[in-house]
Amino acid sequence: MPSPKAPEIYQKPLTEFPGSSSSQDAHAEEVITRISLEYASKGWNAAVTVNDGMVRVIAVPESGIGPKEYLLGLLRSGFIEDALPGLEAMYGMMDDADIDYNYGVALSELGRIEESLDPLKRCLRLDPEYTNAAIPCIDLHE
C-alpha cells in the first residue's frame, strides 16, 4: 500500500500568473480555471481562490493527507518554517480557529510577535473558548 502523499498549499501574487484577459477579474477566473484543471488532470482535488491580489491553492492528491492535518503534523514535528507558507495560505482562504491559532503561534515562535496578533485575535472572534489564543494578546496593544 503506497504511503499518503502530502498536499500542495501555497499562495502567490496574481501578477505572477500570465494571462490573456484584459480585466483583473477575468484574469483571476482564467487563473483559477487553469490551476483547477491542471490538478484535476493529475487526479487531485484543488481549492483555488483569488482575493486581495493573491492566488491561494490547496491541492490534495487522491491518496493524500488532508491539508490541515499535514500542516499541524509539520508543526508538531518542529518544522515551523516549512508549515508557515501553508498556514498563511489557509489563513487567507478560510475562517478556521485552529489554523488561525497555529498561524499566530508559528509567527510568534519565529519572533514575529506583532504579526502574530491578528491571527490570534481572529481565532478568538471565531471561537471565544480558544483561551490559549488570548494569552499572547492580553497586554499587547489591545
Residues 43 and 62 sit within 8 Å (Cβ to Cβ): yes
Give per-residue pLDDT as tens, 68-125. 999 999 999 999 999 999 999 999 999 999 999 999 999 999 999 999 999 999 999 9
3-state SS class at 134: coil
Give per-residue pLDDT as tens, 22-38. 788 899 999 999 999 99
Spatial distance between the Cα atoms of 9 and 88, rounded to a whole number of angstroms: 9
Residues 6+ apart with CB under 8 A from 44: 59, 60, 61, 62, 64
Mean pLDDT of 7-34: 91
Domain with CATH 1.25.40.10 in the chain: 67-137
pTM of the model: 0.79
Q: Does domain 67-137 have CATH number 1.25.40.10?
A: yes
